[in-house]
Amino acid sequence: MNLVLLNFVWSGVLIGESFIRFWYIIPATIVIEMVIIKLMTSHLWGKSLLISTVGNLVSGIIGTIVIGCASILIDFLFGSDFFPTMLITWILMFAGSFGLEYLTVRWIFKDKSQVLVWAILSGNVLSYCFIVISLLVKYWIK
């Protein structure tokens, strides 16, 4: 049992490490979300950038800590098979980042509009697609 525990891959470590290696993805996702927020709401470009930056900053800091801890729980609940735990971690990351961003923006900017919900959701979907494509290109398509 101890040998198995020493050899399993913790998906939270891989995700945390990818933030450092793929730092350029963070500004790109902020820009993607800023454009979506601007196009879907009546906010000006500056406020759209501020909303995207603040939302991503809060979800990035809190989300990295929470998902790191949650991925340990996921590994123990579902076993240490690499793909299922990594997939569950990515799904939780997406849901968590969307939720944290929306709640942060709603609280700080006092914007409770449904359009903003869809703008943040759409921006997160496009951002995660960009992240997945970047990781695929870097690791599997050479």
Per-residue pLDDT tens for 75-92?
777 766 655 667 777 788
pTM of the model: 0.73
Query: Taking 50 as the threshold, does the pLDDT of residue 8 lie above it?
Result: no
How many Å apart are CA 30 and CA 48, to the nearest integer?
Answer: 10
Per-residue pLDDT tens for 37-75?
999 999 999 999 999 999 988 988 887 777 777 777 777
How many Å apart are CA 3 and CA 6, to the nearest integer?
Answer: 5
Check residue 18 and give its pLDDT: 62
Q: Residue 51: CB partners within 8 Å, gap ≥ 6?
A: 34, 37, 43, 105, 109, 111
Check residue 6 and give its pLDDT: 41
In the chain, the N- to C-terminal Cα span, in Å, equals 37
Q: Residue 54: CB partners within 8 Å, gap ≥ 6?
A: 104, 105, 108, 109
The count of other CB atoms within 10 Å of the CB of residue 127 is: 24
Query: Taking 50 as the threshold, does the pLDDT of residue 97 lie above it?
Result: yes
Nearest to residue 15, comparing CAs of 121, 119, 107, 97?
97
Per-residue pLDDT tens for 99-118?
999 999 999 999 888 999 99
Write down the domain spans for the chain. Answer: 2-139
